[in-house]
Chain A
């Protein structure tokens, strides 16, 4: 099964993380933003007495979709077609980009407006359109900030989480034609400037590209959940609407939305309900509608019984906001459209671990991501599973040799005793404070910031027998 392509890989995580770790401002921005949203989420989740039940229902519905994905997809295709939407199937990022580019080119438009969409970021649609001479304008405020800054998103819900207000004002002054030169960094003034900029686009651009948070198989309805209302303008004003949807976005029944429309806003923005939920079933009058159903590694993920639960993800970002590694290393370190804990499993699942070998290790396995995930994805166990695949894919390394040797010692009590006793040689390294302060690589990675205890004269088991 083919792996996914597009914006799913980057530099090795440890190296990519270094930049954020060294940037104090960025770390403050991240810490503040995630801390605030964590507290909000915890508050609104605690309000619901049946959260665990909802969570179990969300997981069960998604598992039901995954178990019968082929049937549900065919049903969706049929319902969409019957209601006047043209359905396209894309195997990977290249194919999806080609389909969308051709559709836009056929309209004669040189510009498209976009509703925030993870799928199009994943496939790199904006770049592909640009190559064809078509410019894409993001209408989600945070996406717009990222786009104007020629930056990459570092969060799936708050793409500009790493930017503060002053940085955004400077960006607007530089990049928006006819913005008021006296613009301040007051959030309302910034939002107003963006609104005026976007309004001009809504009125003139005739093609829109959207994603979808959910696609209902039984009715062919697509659902977009957002908070600014710009998405709604995009979905209704242009004469051509092209929606790019990952094949896992399905829910079987209309009624299932009851569960997800509670889980999603509380988990993502810490709100009881999101401000705008747009549902459309077929094109509006005078409109042409297309849906591009994208695989891009999802079928390959589905084929892995220990990894398929990653496809339950509803992109709420609760795991990012809770993750202590994400909070320090920032979203760019993950090198993919999908950062944070879910990115650490989803990206390697979509591309194959050979193209993302460091991401499964970008976690301390603290487990907080599993605790907060509204569809109960056991991310820590999946990371461990992916690590096993990384190891299996590699030839012998110093690490694998050490692990093998250690396991060999651990399976014989006699060998183990001798191994631990040999550790007493480490006493020679102990300084006057009774600790080991400096070690050569690879242990320097430890002793650069931490002392090591000096090994004891006697192991516990030796002491026990001698007592």
Chain B
């Protein structure tokens, strides 16, 4: 299959290794990966902070970049969630009916990575080897906006060598919340502290999730604590390329 990769702004600019892992994984499974030029960002930060009007041209840019793709895959639950649940709505609310229609079409062909692997490709064993103790955090937007359910866990369970341990209070928000982490930084930090102690209580050396944004938050906290526990994206674990 020819898969168009939407790398997301955060992966493009800050976590290219996540994009590389996603591409490597899809190619290893025998698919052709393309990265449409012209892609930038899904505009979620604008929408969620109250700047939906400014997000309209960003949404238009996204829709144009992926108009010809057969299938779009993003290594991000919250960006895929935004594309599926916000793009058409925001466009329609701001009087762009035609854009809303086209956004709906693109959204219909857009998948988060674990959804694509499990639902579209029908694989759970991606042939990965990752000999570490790992715990998984189901980020809020993957879990509740997108509803990926246990797909990431089904993928992780098939990884060879992995010691997958359950995260206590897994479904509680880590406190990132986009601009929430800045606007309400003290509340965000209190939520992060609880999430980190849950992670550390498992003894895991790697915390994984399907969203680079939450991982930047939790990983940034774990790094500040010099805890020795790393945050890695699900794609990096599944690609089996992380040391």
Contact = CB atoms under 8 A, between A and B. Distances in A.
Interface in A209-244: none
Contact of B189 (A368, A409, A448, A463): A448
Interface string A437-467: 1000011011011111101101111011000
Interface in A392-437: 392, 399-400, 403-404, 406-407, 409-413, 416, 420, 423, 433, 435, 437
A14 B49 contact: no
A363 B190 contact: no
Interface in B1-31: 7, 9, 11-17, 19-20, 23
B111 to A, nearest CB: 19
30 contacts: A14-B187, A27-B190, A324-B175, A325-B184, A325-B187, A325-B191, A364-B188, A365-B140, A365-B180, A388-B53, A389-B50, A399-B49, A404-B51, A407-B54, A407-B58, A410-B41, A410-B43, A412-B61, A416-B41, A433-B223, A435-B220, A445-B182, A449-B185, A450-B189, A451-B223, A452-B216, A453-B216, A456-B15, A456-B17, A460-B13
B61 A329 contact: no
Given A18-B186, A361-B180, A391 B13 contact: no
Interface in A1-39: 13-14, 17-18, 21, 27
Contact of B50 (A328, A391, A443, A445): A391
Contacts of A360: 50
Interface string A345-380: 000000000000000111111111011000000000
A407 B220 contact: no
- Considering residues A13, A324, A452, which has the most beta carbons from chain B within 10 angstroms of its beta carbon? A324
Contacts of B16: 456, 458-460, 463
B61 A361 contact: no
Given A363-B177, A407-B46, A461-B7, A413 B38 contact: yes
A312 to B, nearest CB: 19
Given A449-B221, A451-B220, A364 B191 contact: yes
Interface in B185-242: 185-192, 216-217, 219-221, 223-224
Which among A392, A446, A456, A464 has the greatest number of chain B C-beta atoms within 10 A? Answer: A464
B180 A363 contact: yes
Q: Which 10 A-B pairs have the closest CB atoms?
A: A364-B177, A387-B50, A450-B220, A366-B173, A391-B50, A367-B144, A460-B19, A366-B140, A460-B16, A445-B185
Contact of A446 (B46, B50, B185): B185
A416 B60 CA distance: 15
Contacts of A386: 50
A390 interface: yes
Contacts of A362: 184, 187
B35 A410 contact: no
A370 to B, nearest CB: 7
Contacts of A87: none
A367 B144 CA distance: 6
A450 B58 contact: no
B128 interface: no
A384 interface: yes
Contacts of B181: 445-446
Contacts of A17: 184, 186-187
B206 to A, nearest CB: 16
Nearest to B43: A410
B185 A411 contact: no
Interface in B49-84: 49-55, 57-58, 60-61, 65
B182 A442 contact: yes
B182 A461 contact: no
B49 A387 contact: yes
Given A324-B172, A455-B14, A416 B40 contact: yes
Main secondary structure of the interface of B (DSSP, over half): helix
A27 B180 CA distance: 20
A13 B57 CA distance: 32
Interface of B: 7, 9, 11-17, 19-20, 23, 35, 37-41, 43, 45-55, 57-58, 60-61, 65, 140-141, 143-145, 171-173, 175-192, 216-217, 219-221, 223-224
Nearest to A413: B38
Main secondary structure of the interface of A (DSSP, over half): helix
Contacts of B173: 324, 364, 366, 368
Nearest to B221: A450
B140 A388 contact: no
Given A403-B46, A416-B40, 13 more contacts: A14-B185, A324-B191, A361-B179, A364-B180, A366-B144, A407-B46, A410-B40, A433-B223, A450-B224, A453-B14, A460-B7, A460-B20, A461-B39
A18 to B, nearest CB: 6
Contacts of B45: 406
Contacts of B48: 365, 384, 387
Given A328-B191, A451-B224, A400 B51 contact: yes
Contact of B40 (A391, A411, A446, A464): A411
Nearest to B140: A366
A435 B15 CA distance: 13
A232 B145 CA distance: 43
Contacts of A328: 187, 190-191
Contacts of B175: 324, 364
Contact of B183 (A361, A416, A420, A449): A361
A111 B12 CA distance: 67
A433 B220 CA distance: 12
Nearest to A17: B187
A52 to B, nearest CB: 14
Contacts of A435: 220, 223
Nearest to B184: A14
Nearest to A461: B12
Contacts of A446: 181-182, 185, 220
B163 to A, nearest CB: 26
Nearest to A326: B187
Contacts of A411: 40, 57-58, 60-61
Nearest to B23: A464
A362 B189 CA distance: 14
